[in-house]
Amino acid sequence: MSELFKKIISHCKEYGFIFNSSEIYDGLSAVYDYGPLGVELKNNIKSYWWDAMVKRNKNIVGIDSSIFMHPNTWKASGHIDAFNDPLIDNKDSKKRYRADELIENHIEKIENKINKDIKKAKTKFGDNFNEKEFRKTNQRVLDRQKQINEIISEMNKCLQSENLKGIKKLIEKIELKCPVSGTCNWTEVRQFNLMFKTKIGSNQETSSDIYLRPETAQGIFVNFLNVQKTTRQKIPFGIAQIGKAFRNEIIARQFIFRMREFEQMEMQFFIRPGEEDEWYEYWKEKRMNWHISLGLRKEDFSFKEHTKLAHYAKSACDIEFKFPFGFKELEGIHSRSDFDLIQHQKLSGKKIKYFDSEINESFTPFVIETSIGLDRMFLACLCSSFKREENNNRILLKLPYKLAPIKIAVFPLTKDDSLVNIANNIYEKINKKYNCFYEEKDSIGKRYRRQDAIGTPLCITVDNESEKDQKVTIRNRDSMIQERVALNKIEEYIEGCF
């Protein structure tokens, strides 16, 4: 784990963004609780998404479906049969791994070697260096790239045909060692279903197996007709929802990046068959623009087309974000065809069709899905905002203003009654519209530092002059510039900032 990532994790705990679940019992692996600031940030991300997807689009509506669903839902969706990860254990360390991730990590190591060669050549040749040409002509780079391509191709072939023996063979062929024991003493590769199973009903005889949903999407599919009929939406239209999902992940790593209980923000966009390529491209662009519009750095995002497709997908890509541990999936855009609706039709025996009056035809709609993990988005925002400014001797959380848990802090410089009265009046007035924080304790410097560290964009200070000149000081988090603003102009000033 990088030093930066370790710092971000401890920052989350120190300031009450995120705690380990049931920490007093030493925590529960890959399960986390959001603290007072965490829940504010999370709610702001949710609102930002909901506004962009549901409120700003006349043809997208929202729902909130239940976590428990009829077990046939998961038979139909393919999750009972195909929602598996290949796992492998090292017999010496007794550590368990996802076999495909082990191989991917190995590929990453080879890629790092290529990058090292490129860096060296860059230093050697300076401005004359041409990376493209170097990649095409340097024998060592070519050999390594060939090695990577062969491994990827072999791995994808095995994964697609569920050839577990083939994956084991590949792991042996590339002499993959366990990162803990350093040995190649592996078990066979086995499939592991990621769904959590429990029982519904209190009676042993009559209770039946039920699953915690591994994605929110199925709640949308099974409600397609309910929503379409009650809202009278015409295709193309979308259904969105935000909710919890559960996956019994084999390896729990990277803090809230991969959790066993997490939240998704998903939207299924129902379209005419044959229009899927066009809409797939449309949603790819639209979703990427959403990330950029937040004010996060463009260069931290990239698309990655899937080579190994999920059981439901016709084509799919990830929007990846540059986390401190590399570019990783943040959001998925999937072209799901009519797979899910057809499957639910089969299993339920109910007709799920849409009558398109424009073309006078009935059909099962195709679907483009956008699916983003709320917790991953939370982590991306934190990673992109966390700064250590040595020159100003401060830790800064440069969150987009819209997402900041607290928008404005109000401080009386001292505990003097007259300053406290003015500060309280300001707080009461602006807290109606913006989430505010009030504090009297500690030096003003310390109070500013604390707000910088949690990402509060503005601090208002009432000082000894305020009563006389009817002005306060407003300090900006990013520039640290302080401006004198008249008491009756505070709201106007704030309005201009947000």
> Comparing C-alpha atoms, which of 392, 454, 83 is closest to residue 250?
83
Sketch the per residue contact string, 201 through 240, with ligand GAP: x for CB under 6 A, - otherwise. --------------x-x-----------------------
Cβ proximity to ligand GAP: between 263 and 452 the closer is 263
Q: Which of 262, 280, 323, 366 binds ligand GAP (CB under 6 A)?
A: 262
Q: State the minimum distance, in angstroms, from the CB of residue 278 to ligand GAP.
A: 21
Residue spans of beta strands (DSSP E) within 25-106: 32-34, 60-62, 84-89, 96-98
Q: Please say whether the beta carbons of 256 and 9 come within 8 A.
A: no
* Strand-pair partners of 412: 462
CA–CA distance, 366 with 273 (Å, rounded to integer): 5
Q: Is 258 in the site for ligand GAP (CB under 6 A)?
A: yes
Q: Is 331 in the site for ligand GAP (CB under 6 A)?
A: yes
For position 249 contacting ligand GAP by CB under 6 A, the verdict is: yes
Of 77, 233, 264, 335, the one binding ligand GAP (CB under 6 A) is 264
At residue 134, φ and ψ (nearest 5 deg) are: -60, -45
Q: Give how far Cα 484 sits from Cα of 430, 471, 480, 487, 497, Å.
A: 17, 6, 13, 9, 15
User: How many Å apart are CA 117 and CA 134, to the nearest integer?
Assistant: 10
CA–CA dist 211, 390 (Å, integer): 50
One-letter identity of residue 27: G
> Please, which residues bridge with residue 458 across strands?
408, 476
330 part of the interface to ligand GAP, by CB under 6 A: yes
Q: What is the b/e burial string over 185-212, where b = at least 16 CB atoms within 10 angstroms of the residue's CB?
A: ebeebeeebebeeeeeeeeeeeeeebbb
259 part of the interface to ligand GAP, by CB under 6 A:
yes
Least distance in angstroms from the C-beta of 379 to ligand GAP: 9
Smallest gap from residue 470 Cβ to ligand GAP (A): 50
Q: Toward ligand GAP, which CB reaches closer, 269 or 427? A: 269
- Tokens of residue 258, six digits: 């991969």
Closest chain position to ligand GAP (CB): 373
String marking each residue 362-391 x if it binds ligand GAP according to CB under 6 A: -------x-xxx-xx---------------
User: Which range touches ligand GAP (CB under 6 A), out of 140-148, 324-332, 343-351, 467-475?
Assistant: 324-332
Query: Are the CB atoms for 64 and 209 separated by under 8 Å?
Result: no
Q: Answer for the pair 376, 330: CB distance below 8 angstroms, yes or no.
A: yes
Q: Tell whether residue 98 is a contact of ligand GAP (CB under 6 A).
A: no
Residue 208's DSSP bridge partners are 200
Closest CA relative to residue 290, chosen from 54, 37, 19, 42: 54
Print the binding letters for residues 35-74 with ligand GAP: x by CB under 6 A, - otherwise.
Answer: ----------------------------------------
* Residue whose CB is less far from ligand GAP, 340 or 452: 340
Q: Work out whether 266 is an interface residue with ligand GAP (CB under 6 A).
A: yes
Please report whether residue 100 would count as binding ligand GAP according to CB under 6 A.
no
Under the binding rule (CB under 6 A), the answer on residue 400 touching ligand GAP is no
Binding mask 421-450 for ligand GAP (x = CB under 6 A): ------------------------------
How far apart are alpha carbons 79 and 95 in whole angstroms?
A: 26
Nearest to 184 by CA among 252, 88, 85: 88
Summarize as ranges the residues that interact with ligand GAP (CB under 6 A): 215, 217, 247, 249, 258-259, 262, 264, 266, 329-332, 369, 371-373, 375-376
